[in-house]
Every structure is written in structure tokens, then in C-alpha cells.
A and B are shown apart, each in its own frame.
Chain A
Amino acid sequence: MPQETKRTIPSDLIEATAFELMRRAAIEIPEDFRLGVEAMVDTEAEDLSRFVLESMVENWHAAEEDRRAMCADTGLPRYYVKAGNEAVIGGGFVALERALRRATARATHEIPLRPNRVHPLSRADHNNNVGINAPEIEFSFEPDADWLDITTVHKGGLFGTDYRMLFPGDGKDGIKRFFLDTMMQFGRRGLACQPAIVGIGLGGSKDTSMILGKQAACLRTVGDRHPDPEIAALEVELTELGNNIGMGPMGFVGTSMVVDCHIDVGYTHTGGMPMSVHSFCLSSRRAVARIHPGGEVEYRTDPNWFTPYHRREGIE
């Protein structure tokens, strides 16, 4: 038993860490995203589009200097939890979920975040971003590890995401067509608050393709490439395609639409090729912490969600 106790990750540490993650996500833009947008400032030839990009960079500095939220729309806060197979959580997974809900409510009051979560029909608002199925908590596991990785994402934007059932015969042309359609319909007037990290979910069942696309947008960093060379090449091709539409931030003429494109896949029905597109906006907010059994907490901005184990293909 003493052995057990020493290894246990207490739920109050989880709550305190989650609270700190909410603050970091709302205020500090992840470095990979900032560098990606700064690189676009250098390549953007259009004055208006470049002005928008420069203003965003200035805005992130202002947010960090003043310790205020980077965008007044603080999005929908949610969590991704990756638990080592040997991790032990004090009070179990129910205690973890309760800790994350408490941290969300407290962060909403204290940072403050905008209380965005309402009941879809009654529009009832608890003023704390907590409610039925909110915040979402998704789980993944990792072999040979005793830590707990908690990622929070504050995903903004009512626009920039779409789903379509494509068919095997549509092939890469179909993927490009749907990608272009989504970029343009939500890029006009900057509804998607682009340039964005665009995530694409390909395959799986319909819901899987939506989940994969969202995770590809929110949980992979700018510059990260899929280990499958064919998928990696398509990521690069779609990034270039998006930046050659002729449109930039706010829908002005320009070449800055896609900071990076990430594709993740799941085995799908032999007759279909479901596809989703997600845009992680100019406020691409994510923050990550690893909690070790000894109580040590390390903060970072790369969720490292898609581990080789997570993308496993065969039977072990």
C-alpha cells in the first residue's frame, strides 16, 4: 500500500494544474503558431493582409504583457487527457473528471473567460463554461508510462469547419475540392479568422472523421508532418493550395490562409471516404502539462497526442 500511495497523482494537483493550463491557453499564444504567422508576415506581399498579420502579432504581445485574454471570445474550453498505462489517479477517473470541471468553472470566474457555454435550446447559462457534456474530456492511453498529460484547447470559431461524405472514386481531387470549398466559403470576410491551422480527418466512421480532424487541427504543432510519406506530402500540397487561393486574412487579397495543414486518418468503410475540415483560428489556444507521480509538473505547448501507439495499425 505505501508503494501505491507514493505513485498516486492526487486530484487536487490535477485541478490546480488544469486551472493554470486554462490561464496559459487564454493568454499565451503557442510559440510554433506565432513563428508560423511571423513567417507569413515576411512572405505576404499585400499591404492589407500583412497589416492584419502584424496586428495579430502585436496583439499576442499585448495579451502577454497585460496578462489579458488574447481574444474576448475565449472559445469553448475542453480537455484531452493522455494517461500512462501505469498512472494511478487518486479517486480514479471520476475524480479526474470532477477536478477538470471544477478548474473550468473557477478559471471562468478568475481569469476571466467569457462564459460561452449555454444549453442549446433554453440558452440557459451557468456562467462557468460547465454544463451537459461540457467541457468535453477525451482520453487516450500510452504504454509503459506512469504520467498524466493534460491538454486544454480553447477552440473558437463558429465558422471554418465542415463535413462531407466523399467516395473512393473522388480520390485526392475530391479531397482538394472539398478543402478549397471550405477555405473559400469561410475565408470570405475572414469568418474563420484565418490564417489557421487546418486539420483534416479522413476516414473512420462519420463521427471519427470529425474527431480526427479536430484533433489534427488542435493537437499538432506547426511544422509537424505525418509519418506516412503519402499523407505528409498531401499535407504540404494542401497547405500550398490554400495559400494560393488568392485570399488572405479577413478575406483580403493575399497568400496567407493556412499556417499549416495536418491530416489524420482512420480505416473506413470500403465504399466511402468521409472527410472533415477544421480551422483552428488566429487564437490557436492550447496548453499542455505532464504530471508525474512524484508531483512534478512540466508545462509545454505540444500535446504530442498522436504517438506511434495512438496511430497503431496492427494487432499487438
Chain B
Amino acid sequence: MATQKNKLKEVRLSIPVSPEDIAALEIGTVVYLDGVIYTAREGAYKRILEQGIAPPVDLAQLSNVSFHCSPAAARNDDGSYTVGAVTATASFRFSRWLADWFPASGCKVIIGKGGMSAEDYRTHFVPNGAVYLTTVGYGTGALLGRGIKHVRDAHWLDELGIAQALWVFEVENMGPFLVESDLRGNSLFDRDAERINAGVERLYDGLQPPALSRYGETTSREDEVI
């Protein structure tokens, strides 16, 4: 493998990420983070947003970066935690909580896997001054695990279990992440999908139609299964 210098723009941001830093982010930029981040997914969303249970800490005070993630982690005998690899979980499932989540948490950066819909960016992210960062690969669990310097807390571990607990991590140069949505509502996945879709039909040119069509096969090839 020849080592090629990657031509992507790269930034290293301190948390809390400032409004100026967020406004300057462009889709496709590589991001590394320093500071405190916390994990929040359906378990935390349900407790805070549906059941009205107060968050275990003042989230807005803690950090403005939250992570759709469940770490491969274990609680040690002395009460500390060991985190091995860290991999994000697919974010599209959490769309329904976004409207309430941003005002409740003060969150400005959501990190996850695979992005959310353009509609979610327009309706929820942009008006709240927030952007979405995607993990890379998505199997870069060892690299992301390296970025965690200390596990500060694991809230609601008993109530929600390891995967769904609200983990608070102190991170250093954690990444890589890619800017998937910016404050103008652009989406990196959408931009590339448009280029790919332009060439999709030619792939099927000359292939005879199937003997038996399949229920659901009428879905346009430009559609996504999510």
C-alpha cells in the first residue's frame, strides 16, 4: 500500500465546540475532538424525553457533544471502567426524539453512524445550530477506543445496562469523524448518493428482466431501505 497523503481537510476541535467552529464546518471535513462527550441513545431518550426523568447530570453544563454509541466496556472491581473498542450505532432510528432532544440537552454536535435524513437536518439540526458527525468505516472501534482517556461516569448503568447507559468520556484527539451535515443543511451522504444515482440504471442495461418479480421490487433503485 503506497502511503498517499489524504487530501481531505482536517480540524481538531475543543469541546464545548464553539458556535464559530460549528459554523465553519464543511461536509467531508475530518474531525478530531478533545474534551468531554457523553453517550445517549434510545434508553436515555426515553427516560428523559418520554418519562420526564431528570438527566443524571446537567447535560448542557457537561458537554455539547453526544454520541450514538454503546462501548465494549466492563466495570472493574475497584469501581472504575475499562473501555476497549467503541463503535457507533445507526442513527436513523433516533429521528423521532430529535425535536425534543436539542432544546432539552443543549447539544450542538451529534456523533453517530450513517447519518440522518436531509429532512432531519433541515427541521431539527439547522434551526438548533447543530451538526452531525459520522464515524468512519464503520469498524474503526480500536482507533476510537484509543481516544478515550478516562471514563468519568456511567450513569443509569443499573437501569439501562452497558449498551444504553449514559457514559461520560474524557477524550483526547478522538477520531476520525467526518462532517456529514453542516449548518446550511448539506449532507455528505446525499451529495455522493446523487452522483451514484446518476449511473445506476446503466448497470442494469442489457440484463433481462427477472422470471418472477418480487414483492417490493417496485421500489425505485434510488430509494434507501432506511
Contact = CB atoms under 8 A, between A and B. Distances in A.
Interface stretch (B52-60, B80-88, B101-109): B80-88
B29 to A, nearest CB: 11
Given A69-B85, A177-B210, A247-B196, A62 B139 contact: no
Interface stretch (B2-10, B17-25, B152-160): B2-10
Contacts of B7: 47
A251 B136 contact: no
B21 to A, nearest CB: 21
B70 interface: yes
Contacts, number: 178
B71 interface: yes
A62 B203 CA distance: 38
B74 interface: yes
Interface in B107-150: 114-115, 134, 136-146
Contacts of A42: 1-2
Interface stretch (A15-23, A186-194, A308-316): A186-194
Given A50-B4, A166-B211, A249 B114 contact: no
A249 B176 CA distance: 15
Interface of A: 38-39, 41-42, 47-48, 50-52, 54-60, 62-63, 66, 68-74, 111-114, 156, 164-167, 169-171, 173-174, 176-177, 180-181, 184-186, 188-191, 193, 241, 244-247, 249-253, 281-283
B139 A184 contact: no
Nearest to B212: A167
Contacts of B85: 63, 68-72, 74
Interface in B190-210: 192-193, 195-196, 199-200, 203-204, 207-208, 210
Given A55-B176, A174-B210, A251 B137 contact: no
A10 B40 CA distance: 47
A210 B114 CA distance: 27
B30 interface: yes
A39 B1 CA distance: 6
Main SS class of interface, B: mixed
B137 A52 contact: yes
Contacts of A252: 188-189, 192
Given A59-B141, A72-B70, A250-B136, 11 more contacts: A47-B8, A48-B28, A51-B176, A69-B141, A71-B140, A72-B72, A72-B85, A167-B212, A189-B224, A246-B196, A246-B199
Given A41-B1, A59-B140, A281-B139, A74 B72 contact: yes
Contact of A69 (B72, B138, B214, B221): B72
A111 B87 CA distance: 16
Contact of B226 (A58, A70, A189): A189
Can you list the 7 inter-chain pairs with the closest CB atoms, starting with the nearest?
A: A38-B1, A72-B87, A63-B142, A72-B85, A72-B141, A167-B211, A71-B139
A84 B141 CA distance: 38
B142 A190 contact: no
Contact of A193 (B72, B138, B199): B138
B81 to A, nearest CB: 12
A246 B134 CA distance: 21
B84 A68 contact: yes
B196 A253 contact: yes
A41 B137 CA distance: 14
Nearest to A56: B137
A181 B204 CA distance: 10
19 contacts: A42-B2, A51-B8, A52-B137, A55-B176, A68-B145, A71-B85, A71-B140, A72-B87, A72-B145, A169-B211, A185-B225, A186-B225, A188-B193, A245-B200, A246-B195, A246-B199, A250-B137, A251-B196, A252-B189
B70 to A, nearest CB: 7
Given A189-B189, A189-B224, A72 B114 contact: no
B212 A189 contact: no
B208 to A, nearest CB: 5
B196 A71 contact: no
A165 B139 CA distance: 32
A246 B193 CA distance: 10
A164 B214 contact: yes
Nearest to A52: B136
A177 to B, nearest CB: 5
A75 to B, nearest CB: 10
A17 B195 CA distance: 49
Contacts of A57: 1
